[in-house]
Amino acid sequence: MIPIAKPIIDEVEKRRVMEVLDSGMLSIGVVVKEFEEKFARYTGAKYAVAVSSGTTALHVALLSAGVKPGDKVLTTPFSFVATANSILYCGAVPVFCDIEEESFNIDPVKIRETLEKEKDIKALLIVHLYGHPCEMDEIMKIVEEYNLILVEDAAQAHGCYYKGIHVGNFGKSGIFSFYPTKNMTTGEGGMVITNDEETYIMLKLLREHGDVAGIQGYQHKVLGYNFRMTNLEAAIGLGQLEKLPRFNAGRKENADYYRANLSDLPWLVCPKTRENATHCFHQFTLKTENRDGLVQHLKDNGVGSKVYYPITIPEQTMYKDMGYSAEDLPVAREMTRRVISIPVHPAVTAEDREKIVTAIKSFNP
């Protein structure tokens, strides 16, 4: 079975991890700091703060931006549930608006419509889904016009650019995940980037129990958390970051092959890349009417696939219990029925690609 995801770990990461083990300094320390500095440099941000997961990155990003209990935060319904859950962690209120069918990202037209209806929205949390950037020109106009706090969920967008600017640099802060399925991994782990010094200071406080003096300073200025990344995870991250351009080049090569060989199928829609944008192809997500049939057909032919995502966030049980509905989100609901992602990761070989394309072309929709 060709897997939907496969992290590539070799002697580089193993050597770095053994160096940390031999040092005896396993928790947060100089290796984490080095990882932060190099990740900030890679993304073009002034500051980066490493944390324990993409979810905790979202949590502290919102808190450090000033999101407080009762604040309304506008976001997408078509994402992993952690996007909206992070709003709840702050005691804030998620508000959902629909997405663009072509990009799967939050629709600026719907953002504006929602803001006209709900005048008290304080923040906007966008997601660069599947490694494809949102329409940032229009979004930034809206942010300025409505004086919104902008936080970017770039959990799937390592190496993703909009008009030459790495995503995560447009808002108050941007977050990344290093879960094993991502374009680079630390096992678990996340990162927040920002260009604002006050936000950077608050991020570090929130990560380390509000400790103003740093680890084991025992001077707690605010209510913080234990969201620290370890040196072990950072060691893996340093090795992965070195390879990220090569990993992303492999993803693009696979994506280009699929588009060249599948775009002529009348029953299948390949993903497009927005003008002036760079797609890092965390996922290669197709649209088709008989999605479930294609999933089974690929499985029968030894090809892994995944549906990201089979249900909108407002339709999740806990959100329905809070009174949410997806009734006004027709595009997002339609995408949950039609999308399917196929293997695009850099471990996919030329032989694998040919097998995947052959399997798809043999499907009778």
Q: How far apart are CA 161 and CA 201, in angstroms?
A: 26
The answer to whether 359 and 304 have CB atoms below 8 angstroms apart is: no
Token pair of 133, please?
């950037």
Token pair of 265, please?
């199928």
Domain regions of the chain by residue span: 11-97+105-240, 244-361
For the four alpha carbons of 208, 213, 218 and 223, in that order, the dihedral sign comes to negative
CATH class in words for 244-361: alpha beta
Tell me the CATH architecture of domain 11-97+105-240. Answer: 3-Layer(aba) Sandwich (3.40)
Token pair of 143, please?
């942010």
- What mean pLDDT do residues 220-227 have? 93
pLDDT of 346 over the 90 cut: yes
Cis peptide bond upstream of 179, omega within 30: no
Longest dimension (CA), the chain: 65
**Of the candidates 232, 280, 277, 231, which has an alpha carbon nearest to the alpha carbon of residue 255?**
280
pLDDT classification of 218: cutoffs 50, 70, 90: confident
Cis peptide bond upstream of 258, omega within 30: no
pLDDT digits (tens, 9 = 90+) for 330-339: 999 999 999 9
pLDDT digits (tens, 9 = 90+) for 3-46: 999 999 999 999 999 999 999 989 889 999 999 999 999 999 99
Which pLDDT value is given to residue 219? Answer: 87
Query: Which DSSP string corresponds to 241-272?
Result: HHHHHHHHHHHHHHHHHHHHHHTT-TTEE---
- Burial string for 322-356 (b: 16+ CB within 10 Å, else e) reads eebebeebebbbebbebbbbbbbbbebeeebbebb
User: What's this model's pTM, rounded to 2 decimal places?
Assistant: 0.97
pLDDT of 99 over the 70 cut: yes
pLDDT of 213 over the 90 cut: no
pLDDT digits (tens, 9 = 90+) for 282-322: 999 999 999 999 999 999 999 999 999 999 999 999 999 99
Q: How far apart are CA 287 and CA 99, in angstroms?
A: 15
256 burial level (CB within 10 Å; 0-12, 13-18, 19+)? exposed
Q: How far apart are CA 137 and CA 134, in angstroms?
A: 9
